[in-house]
A and B are shown apart, each in its own frame.
Chain A
Amino acid sequence: MLEVLTNPNKFFEARKRGEESLRIPVLIVLISGIIGGISAFLTSSIMMEAMTKTLPPEAQGFMSFMPIGSAIGAVIASFIIWLIIAAIFFGIASIFKGEGKFKRTLEFVGYGYIPTIIGGLISAVLVYNFVTTVQIPTITDPTEIREVITPLMKSPMMLLSSVIGILFMLWSANIWVFGLKHARNLSTKNALITVAIPVAAYILFSVYQMGVM
């Protein structure tokens, strides 16, 4: 399994010869989603702590479910994003006259989630460290929410977490290049272009978000 990280080309070449199976990719995406869910839980907790006074008492009970809801949402979203990424890669690869089933693309894209597990773990530790030390003012006026949340999200610790996320995304992208090369029978160059377009768009968007917030 570690070969997918060190020599993805050889790994996917070998996997291509076997039957398409989503069992391991689903597990990988699930683990990735759970780790992302932990970060979402921690981030939501501090947001809820800051905003709880802006809501009426009856709504404050509902707000207590927000962190758990965020964590579950992150797990579900990881599967949806997996499907979307695979669909985008599949679509772009079609332009380069790629061949192969969507299931194979989905399977190989799933393997590409392994670096995000490592990156997610590091991010979760950073977010936890931030959440347990940060002083959050209590907001009583809803108009002050943005004033508090913006610096919260723009804090160095959170930015570092995002940077690490981007680094591991690049690693995932590297795996996806070789995965698509074998899943859709593309040249290395075309596979690189197929992956680079959406990943570059995502990274640019992430950097823009960090700058704007």
Chain B
Amino acid sequence: MRKTLPSFLFLLLLIFAIAFAISSVSAYDGISGLGTEEQESSVMITGYQINPATLMCNDVGTVTVTVKNMESDKSVNIKDARMLSRNIKVLSNSYFNIGRLGPGESLNLTFTIKATCPDGIYYPRILVEGEDAQNIRYSIPVTVDSSSLTIGVKDIPEDVFKGERARIELVVGNPRQNTATAVKIATMEENVIPSEVFIGALSADETKVASFNFTPQTKSAHILNFELEFKNGDNYHLTALSVPLDVTESKKRAELIITGIEVEPMLGMKVYKITGDINNAGLKEAKSVVMKVGNAEGIEAMHPYKAYFVGLLSPDDFSSFELDVKVGENGTQVPLIIEYKDEDGNKFSKTEYVSIERHQGTTSSGELPLSVIVVLVVVAIFVIGAIAYSWKKR
């Protein structure tokens, strides 16, 4: 019996020691399970907020917890608050000597975190220690999901022709659990307009369409590069999209050619009247056809026909035109610009050159026909004859 009592006391102490050790370990790291709350505690964590709600890998975010004094007649002195985690990197420092929290009062504490870990759900632990209250340990679930916004081609013409506008529709989708903001698609391509389309906020599982117009100037293989930019919280992310296109020459476009060119000099000022026919040898209509005199050294368009509006020119149709141009000493070639639009409003331009041959001292309208010279000689002989005859008869 003397030996039994000490053994019993030792066994009792051992049980207490094991129980204390178990409770200490579980209080430090609760990786799984939701937050544990001490029911007896006079201070509670009543809520939390994570921004952004779902982080991407390497994103920086914030976790804000609300600490509330649940006592109705007693204030509590909060000594410190800290966030602890093995997987999520905590960037901000712990809070020390926060101060007293009055009865029923609450306090928001914000911690900055960085998701340096692979995708998954992590539970960083909040520890709040009060002077005259029990400590709080609270686990917050933080989701890391690196799924990016998606961008793809929604619609594109089967054939893209040189000089013709092709409409490209891109679709942006948000497969994430949270809303992405400041979503925009930008491109540095020369012949693509607009260069940027701003979409704005894109909620989870939402899609939006952005349209671009591409007017290729050369026929070859093109790769159009687009960049999708968005913000997850305060973190910028980029996604690139390359759209390969094969630009060919259209076989059905309008084809305007000039024939029957006549250059007629006008009197003085070195002005020439250029007339001719403009024909549509293509298979499509040419709309708003305008003939103009192009810019060149020593060449100046003149009134009344600085430009000539032809209008609609159907396939296999033609129209006459007239242009007035002043040609300086240096000018010998007059550039004629033919501008027209297709049915989509795409503008086309073509330049043809007309040679000017100078007539020194005479003009086509001023040349003396042989018959006139004969008349002059006859008149002169007649007058001289009449005068001579009158003197002879005197």
Q: Would you call A61 an interface residue if the criterion is a C-beta within 8 Å of the partner chain's C-beta atoms?
A: no
Task: Tell me the bound Cα distance from A130 to B144 in angstroms.
Answer: 93
* B376: chain A residues within 8 A (beta carbon): 160, 163-164
Binds B, one of A1-9, A35-43, A76-84, A103-111: A1-9
Task: Tell me the bound Cα distance from A139 to B386 in angstroms.
Answer: 45
Q: Would you call B365 an interface residue if the criterion is a C-beta within 8 Å of the partner chain's C-beta atoms?
A: yes
Task: Tell me the bound Cα distance from A163 to B389 in angstroms.
Answer: 21
Interface-central residue, B265, B271, B387, B390, by most chain A CB under 10 Å: B390
Q: Would you call A101 an interface residue if the criterion is a C-beta within 8 Å of the partner chain's C-beta atoms?
A: no
Is B268 a contact partner of A135 (Cβ separation < 8 A)?
no
Q: Would you call A149 an interface residue if the criterion is a C-beta within 8 Å of the partner chain's C-beta atoms?
A: yes
Q: Would you call A140 an interface residue if the criterion is a C-beta within 8 Å of the partner chain's C-beta atoms?
A: yes
Question: 8 Å CB contacts to B: which residues of A17-57?
Answer: 53
Q: Would you call A206 an interface residue if the criterion is a C-beta within 8 Å of the partner chain's C-beta atoms?
A: no
Task: Tell me the bound Cα distance from A9 to B387 in angstroms.
Answer: 11
Give chain A nearest CB distance to B16 CB in angstroms.
113
Is B265 a contact partner of A156 (Cβ separation < 8 A)?
no
Given contacts A6-B386, A160-B376, contact A137 B268 (CB under 8 A): yes
* B394: chain A residues within 8 A (beta carbon): 7, 9, 178, 188
Interface-central residue, A8, A115, A126, by most chain B CB under 10 Å: A8
* A197: chain B residues within 8 A (beta carbon): none
Binds B, one of A65-73, A91-99, A165-173: A165-173
* A134: chain B residues within 8 A (beta carbon): 266-267, 363, 365-366
- Among A136, A138, A174, point to the contact of B267 (Cβ < 8 A): A136
Is A130 a contact partner of B365 (Cβ separation < 8 A)?
yes
Task: Tell me the bound Cα distance from A171 to B365 in angstroms.
Answer: 30
Is B266 a contact partner of A137 (Cβ separation < 8 A)?
yes
Q: Would you call A209 an interface residue if the criterion is a C-beta within 8 Å of the partner chain's C-beta atoms?
A: no
Is B269 a contact partner of A137 (Cβ separation < 8 A)?
yes
Is A167 a contact partner of B268 (Cβ separation < 8 A)?
no
Q: Would you call B1 an interface residue if the criterion is a C-beta within 8 Å of the partner chain's C-beta atoms?
A: no
- Among B267, B271, B387, point to the contact of A155 (Cβ < 8 A): B267
Question: 8 Å CB contacts to A: which residues of B350-394?
Answer: 362-363, 365-368, 372, 375-376, 379-380, 383, 386-387, 389-391, 393-394
Q: Would you call B303 an interface residue if the criterion is a C-beta within 8 Å of the partner chain's C-beta atoms?
A: yes
The size of the chain B interface, using a CB distance under 8 A, is 32
Is A147 a contact partner of B269 (Cβ separation < 8 A)?
yes
Q: Would you call B302 an interface residue if the criterion is a C-beta within 8 Å of the partner chain's C-beta atoms?
A: yes
Q: Would you call B273 an interface residue if the criterion is a C-beta within 8 Å of the partner chain's C-beta atoms?
A: yes
- Among B266, B367, B368, B387, point to the contact of A136 (Cβ < 8 A): B266
- Among B273, B387, B393, point to the contact of A135 (Cβ < 8 A): B273
* A170: chain B residues within 8 A (beta carbon): 383, 387
* B367: chain A residues within 8 A (beta carbon): 156
Is B267 a contact partner of A151 (Cβ separation < 8 A)?
yes
* B302: chain A residues within 8 A (beta carbon): 137-138
Task: Tell me the bound Cα distance from A174 to B383 in angstroms.
Answer: 10
Is B368 a contact partner of A160 (Cβ separation < 8 A)?
yes
Q: B302's closest neighbor in chain A, by CB?
A: A137
Given contacts A6-B393, A134-B267, A168-B383, contact A140 B365 (CB under 8 A): no
Q: Would you call B304 an interface residue if the criterion is a C-beta within 8 Å of the partner chain's C-beta atoms?
A: yes
Is A9 a contact partner of B390 (Cβ separation < 8 A)?
yes
Task: Tell me the bound Cα distance from A138 to B322 in angstroms.
Answer: 14
Q: Would you call B324 an interface residue if the criterion is a C-beta within 8 Å of the partner chain's C-beta atoms?
A: yes
* B365: chain A residues within 8 A (beta carbon): 130, 133-135, 155, 157
Q: Would you call A10 an interface residue if the criterion is a C-beta within 8 Å of the partner chain's C-beta atoms?
A: yes
Give chain B nearest CB distance to A177 CB in angstroms.
9
Q: Would you call A148 an interface residue if the criterion is a C-beta within 8 Å of the partner chain's C-beta atoms?
A: yes
Task: Tell me the bound Cα distance from A163 to B373 in angstroms.
Answer: 12
Is A10 a contact partner of B268 (Cβ separation < 8 A)?
no
Question: 8 Å CB contacts to A: which residues of B267-286?
Answer: 267-269, 271, 273
Q: Would you call A122 an interface residue if the criterion is a C-beta within 8 Å of the partner chain's C-beta atoms?
A: yes
Is A126 a contact partner of B372 (Cβ separation < 8 A)?
yes
Task: Tell me the bound Cα distance from A172 to B271 in angstroms.
Answer: 40
Q: B393's closest neighbor in chain A, by CB?
A: A7
Is A10 a contact partner of B324 (Cβ separation < 8 A)?
no
Is B362 a contact partner of A137 (Cβ separation < 8 A)?
no
Task: Tell me the bound Cα distance from A6 to B264 in angstroms.
Answer: 46
Given contacts A6-B393, A135-B273, A155-B366, contact A160 B372 (CB under 8 A): yes
Q: Would you call A127 an interface residue if the criterion is a C-beta within 8 Å of the partner chain's C-beta atoms?
A: no
* B380: chain A residues within 8 A (beta carbon): 167
Task: Tell me the bound Cα distance from A135 to B394 in angstroms.
Answer: 49
* A157: chain B residues within 8 A (beta carbon): 365-366, 368, 372
Binding site for A on B (CB under 8 A): 264-269, 271, 273, 302-304, 324, 326, 362-363, 365-368, 372, 375-376, 379-380, 383, 386-387, 389-391, 393-394
A-B contact pairs, 29 of them (CB 8 A): A5-B386, A6-B390, A6-B393, A7-B390, A8-B390, A9-B394, A126-B372, A130-B365, A130-B366, A133-B365, A134-B363, A135-B264, A135-B365, A137-B271, A137-B302, A138-B304, A140-B303, A148-B267, A148-B268, A150-B268, A155-B267, A155-B363, A157-B372, A167-B380, A171-B386, A174-B386, A174-B390, A174-B391, A178-B394
Nearest 5 CB-CB pairs, A to B? A137-B271, A151-B268, A135-B266, A148-B268, A155-B366
